[in-house]
Structure 1
Amino acid sequence: MNRLLRTSTALAMALTVTGSPAFADMDAAIAFLDEHIGEMSVLTREEQEAELQWFIEAAEPFQGMTINVVSETLTTHEWEASVLAPAFSAMTGINVTHTLISEGDVVERLQTQLQTGENVFDMYINDADLIGTHWRYQQTRNLTDWMAGDGASVTNPGLDLDDFIGTSMATGPDGKLYQLPVQQFANLYWFRYDWFNDPEIQAEFEAEYGYPLGVPVNWSAYEDIAAFFTGREIDGQTVYGHMDYGRRDPSLGWRFTDAWLSMAGASDLGLPNGVPIDEWGIRVNDNFQPVGSCMARGGATNSPAAVYSIEKYVEWLNEYAPPAAAGMNFSESGPVPAQGNIAQQIFWYTAFTADMVADGLPVVNEDGTPKWRMAPSPHGTYWQEGMKVGYQDAGSATLLESTPVDRAQAAWLYGQFIASKTVDVAKSHYGLTFIRESTIQHDSFTERAPRLGGLVEFYRSPERDLWTDTGFNVPDYPRLAQLWWQNIGDASSGARTAQEAMNALCDQQEAVMARLERAGVQGEFGPALNDPQEESYWLEQPGAPWPKLDDEKGEPLTVAYDELIRRWTE
């Protein structure tokens, strides 16, 4: 297993990796299995060879073709690009150029292809957050029809869609699958388990706050814990009670569109994202047509709960995080907790797990077990039982209609290969971004679970289904997402108050939706904005937007971590 977990400098620095096929036969497949897979598969060696033989035969019509694939730069995708792409090329004779760029750039390239019809990439690995966009524009090949039509001859009989845990996120209201998950991770709470269980620290916290130190259930407790730890000296270093990032950068938008408003309590009850109002504050009607974002049209983007969520973000960033955090983006802030001076992080992606378990880190014990744990994220004061509890990302293989059929077929083979049962256990050990139930239940992860801080327990729990991606309400993800980081950046920098920033954001979202409505490019499921009314009208209606609370602090509540683990495992 250690061989699978090695990280090379060359891999970490790779931007584009091209597989150059020397031949296309089982010799390459055998070499790949011997070097990279071994017993790290849910399939037997005989089954692995049979699956790879199918890929080799299915790829025969495309030998010599070069396909271009793009994904964001995550640990999992780095392994795909440096290991799986060359192996696939050697086996099949299809040359794969797998390009790694930032997530914002991936969305920009995809948007360009959607707008121009020019084939920029043959396959995009992008978030299933775009499901509302793909379903409405119908410029993305829905895989349900594809696998029964032009893609039938290149669809792996061992694909086993029922084994995937995230296909519901990539399925439209029409019941069609638009994207195939190839990596998946959740947004959870991260904390220093060793400090939280130190008897002296526990006693001091309870003496000061009057309740036990534990995993915070709500933002009130999180805030107390952040204040308690910030500025303390532990293990010879100054500790901070919170970690975040604030640079005016596209990644700042994800920090909020990835369910922050919903975690605060701004959306409606019900899963996956609340209907009629989701975590972007966008209201839809019974036909899933977006009808408003501002409260005047029935939306919640500038509602009291949404404004409260931004105020808390800014307050905690300024008061409890390291001073440098305000100038960091997502990628720069991610490794900081591993440096050993962060007590907790409310908004933490499990995609960082692979970078938090390396031997020798300040947050890893000498025996290889972590000093930290992950747990469900606490919720805000406006949150009610039945609301969305957290976000889950499903990075997925996506084929656009503008890609020629033969190129889409070759790319589809590669997309299935990097998600195949043959490779998925080994890939998951490297990147720790699970997509298959069979992989999660593999014995090797039972063995490794004590070193992963609760990740395996979370993904083996049925509670994982409560963490979902961005849903159907967002009509044009690329256009709307860029509005978030620009406006939140104003709040983060202090250029605008939280209320001013959210007012501007909802106005701009509605301006985009109004243009889509006039253009009629999304047909019967495109925006149909409500006429503006007094905000008080909507605040008096059942559901979101919710009226302002007199007490936004609320009663703090914590729970023992071991109790949470019992809930996950039992």
Structure 2
Amino acid sequence: MTRLLSGAAVLALTAGGAWANEEAIAKWLPEFQPSALSEAEQKAELEWFAEAAKPFAGMSINVVSETIATHEYEANVLARAFSEITGIQVTHDLIGEGDVVEKLQTQMQTGQNVYDAYVNDSDLIGTHWRYQQVRNLTDWMAGEGADVTLPSLDVADFVGASFTTGPDGKLYQLPTQQFANLYWFRYDWFNDPKNQEDFRAAYGYDLGVPDNWSAYEDIAEFFTGRDLSHMGVEGEVYGHMDYGKKDPSLGWRFTDAWMSMAGMGDKGEPNGLPVDEWGIRVNENSQPTGSCVARGGATNSPAAVYAIEKYIDWLTKYAPPAAAGMVFSEAGPVPAQGQVAQQMFWYTAFTADMVKDGIPVVDEAGNPKWRMAPSPHGAYWEDGMKVGYQDAGSWTLMKSTPLDRAKAAWLYAQFTVSKTVDVKKSHTGLTFIRESTIEHDSFTERAPKLGGLVEFYRSPARVRWSPTGTNVPDYPKLAQLWWQNIGDASSGAKTAQEALDALCAAQEQVMSRLERAGVQGDIGPKLNEERDPEYWLSQPGSPKPKLDNEDPTPVTIGYDELVKSWSESN
């Protein structure tokens, strides 16, 4: 499908006279196929970049992102193309996610221009909105950055723009890659007649995609230690995969919406209000007012305890023994080795590694033996709540970056997300940011090889997956508290309740310091007075009182039936 630009956009792009870089444009156009634009429209966009960049020709700029396939394509291909077309030299550094945040914090604290632009997760939207140290892009595009803002940028085409918008309605970051945290399972194992027959005999219902945690647990139990030699599978088989080492990546595993999957927070899109998936409550002015139940938060609530206890229980009983000592990067490749039946907490950023020829989870024709589907939800979850996480790595411009350097960096940022390059970039990294890309014919053709990724992103279900929202006032300071405290629970040093009590108290200490310092003004934390927890547990919404039954009736759905329901909803 080719999406045509409006007449006004084409006129705006082609205004500006003769082009100095026709040769470079002609060289690079074949690289950017397929595209949501016609080649003529792509050429018009590239000519606009060449013209808009003239005042900055010869300048060298430095940008940074974490290391994933999408950003490798940007750094190794798009940066070179942009430099040849515009004359602006780009150094696009690839470093660890934690290092990106550290560099950003350094620039925020010192005011020194460390990088001219950052690809920074939208999880920091609450931080950026409150500290006001990044250029809000809504005002930037209409003001100082108007002369370097692509007329055909089409912000409405970005599927994650709501994630990077503050409570003030301003856009603070622009997504350049996006991936969800979904349920992953062995489609071939689930459809095997013997497995289906044995499962029904053991549990009394059909083996299928679990809709709730009760069904997930049954399936994990069923496959762990099961003999699958009738399918040609040798060796030990496991019904679950996860990781548990006390490491910063353990924190992501929980702040990336495990608690919302359990049902800890409130209803709301893109995040629960007034209590979000970190258990942080805000008032009507979006000021954080507490994390512990005694202040109206939910971080140490019964639903949160349930979430942690299930995590530990499943890791111990149903995952490979080595999983408890693994970090995120070590655990990620394990399902592709062919011994795992399902994984609830699986990032679609791993898709490219799961479709390589010759691996145990791909058949001889190159088709995946697995599928991805919406994650099941816990006992406390209610319709209208978010049910999973989406990572939205987003271009971010700091106010401390000099104006000319910010303009040059903004040109490069827009180039990496432009309709000219986005379909090709998405085929490389499989991290969708544009509606026009998701709906492109080339992804209709490729969908059968991607195990449900395209179907998910075209489905109405995707809106219930979102990054950390604006309730979190200082992501870098608070995120480090999670892995340290939950690590105490995963190691057995503390009970789930003890670890969460310590976590919510530590979050409130940080918020109290921010409140006293007044650095975030009248949108910073304003903690509630402590009350008897029963007061808050008896109020509607989150925090929720302990359920009498945390193991409701298991529910499953056939995968093909699920996909059919998505197409019928569109």
TM-score between both structures, scaled by the size of structure 2 = 0.94
**Contact between 2:242 and 2:315, CA under 8 Å: does it hold in 1?**
yes
Residue type of the alignment partner of 1:416 = Q
Aligned to 1:144: 138
Deviation, 1:488, is 1.3
Aligned to 2:420: 422
| Deviates further, 321-330 or 419-428 | 321-330
Deviation, 1:344, is 0.2
Residue type of the alignment partner of 1:491 = A
Aligned to 1:304: 302
Aligned to 2:93: 99
Deviation, 1:233, is 3.3
SS of corresponding position for 1:553: coil
Please, which of 43, 50, 53 is the counterpart of residue 37 of structure 2? 43
Q: C-alpha offsets along residues 304-343 of structure 1, whole Å, 9 cap, x if unaligned? A: 0001101111111121111221122212211111111110
Asked if residue 406 in structure 1 is aligned to residue 400 in structure 2, the reply is: no
SS of corresponding position for 2:381: coil
Q: C-alpha offsets along residues 480-502 of structure 1, whole Å, 9 cap, x if unaligned? A: 01111111111111111111111
**Contact between 1:251 and 1:485, CA under 8 Å: does it hold in 2?**
yes
Aligned to 2:202: 208
Please, which of 25, 29, 33 is the counterpart of residue 29 of structure 1? 25
Deviation, 1:274, is 1.3
Aligned to 2:311: 313
Please, which of 228, 232, 247 is the counterpart of residue 226 of structure 2? 232
CA distance in 1, matches of 2:279, 2:219: 29
SS of corresponding position for 2:159: coil
In the alignment, structure 2 segments of 5+ residues that lack a partner are 1-18
Please, which of 146, 152, 156 is the counterpart of residue 158 of structure 1? 152
Percent identical among aligned pairs is: 73
**Contact between 2:305 and 2:497, CA under 8 Å: does it hold in 1?**
yes
Deviation, 1:55, is 0.8
Deviation, 1:118, is 1.3
Aligned to 2:5: none
Q: C-alpha offsets along residues 395-436 of structure 1, whole Å, 9 cap, x if unaligned? A: 100001111111111110111010011110100001111111
Please, which of 557, 560, 569 is the counterpart of residue 559 of structure 1? 557
CA RMSD of aligned residues (A): 1.2
CA distance in 1, matches of 2:107, 2:223: 48
CA distance in 1, matches of 2:326, 2:62: 31
Q: C-alpha offsets along residues 58-107 of structure 1, whole Å, 9 cap, x if unaligned? A: 11111222211111111111111111111111211111111111211111
Aligned to 2:463: 465
Aligned to 1:269: 267
Aligned to 2:7: none
Deviation, 1:216, is 0.6
| Deviates further, 42-51 or 342-351 | 42-51
CA distance in 1, matches of 2:155, 2:503: 38
Deviation, 1:24, is 7.4
Deviation, 1:566, is 0.9
CA distance in 2, matches of 1:52, 1:335: 38
Aligned to 1:89: 83
SS of corresponding position for 1:140: coil
CA distance in 2, matches of 1:302, 1:76: 37
Residue type of the alignment partner of 1:324 = A
Deviation, 1:369, is 1.3
Q: C-alpha offsets along residues 461-520 of structure 1, whole Å, 9 cap, x if unaligned? A: 122112122111100111101111111111111111111111111000000000000010
Aligned to 2:501: 503
CA distance in 2, matches of 1:68, 1:568: 42
Deviation, 1:25, is 2.0
CA distance in 1, matches of 2:447, 2:462: 16
Q: C-alpha offsets along residues 116-164 of structure 1, whole Å, 9 cap, x if unaligned? A: 1111111110111111111111111000000111111111111111111
Asked if residue 369 in structure 1 is aligned to residue 363 in structure 2, the reply is: no
Q: C-alpha offsets along residues 521-554 of structure 1, whole Å, 9 cap, x if unaligned? A: 1111100001111111111111111111122222
**Contact between 1:86 and 1:96, CA under 8 Å: does it hold in 2?**
yes
**Contact between 2:61 and 2:88, CA under 8 Å: does it hold in 1?**
yes
**Contact between 1:70 and 1:123, CA under 8 Å: does it hold in 2?**
yes
Residue type of the alignment partner of 2:519 = V
TM-score between both structures, scaled by the size of structure 1 = 0.94
In the alignment, structure 1 segments of 5+ residues that lack a partner are 1-22
Matched length: 546
Please, which of 358, 361, 370 is the counterpart of residue 360 of structure 1? 358
Q: C-alpha offsets along residues 227-252 of structure 1, whole Å, 9 cap, x if unaligned? A: 11111233112111111111222211
CA distance in 1, matches of 2:366, 2:67: 26
CA distance in 2, matches of 1:81, 1:321: 36
Residue type of the alignment partner of 2:184 = W
Deviation, 1:355, is 1.1
Deviation, 1:293, is 0.1
CA distance in 1, matches of 2:77, 2:236: 40
SS of corresponding position for 2:250: helix
Asked if residue 110 in structure 1 is aligned to residue 104 in structure 2, the reply is: yes
Residue type of the alignment partner of 1:565 = V
Asked if residue 246 in structure 1 is aligned to residue 244 in structure 2, the reply is: yes
Distance 1:24-1:493 versus aligned 2 partners, 3 A rule: farther
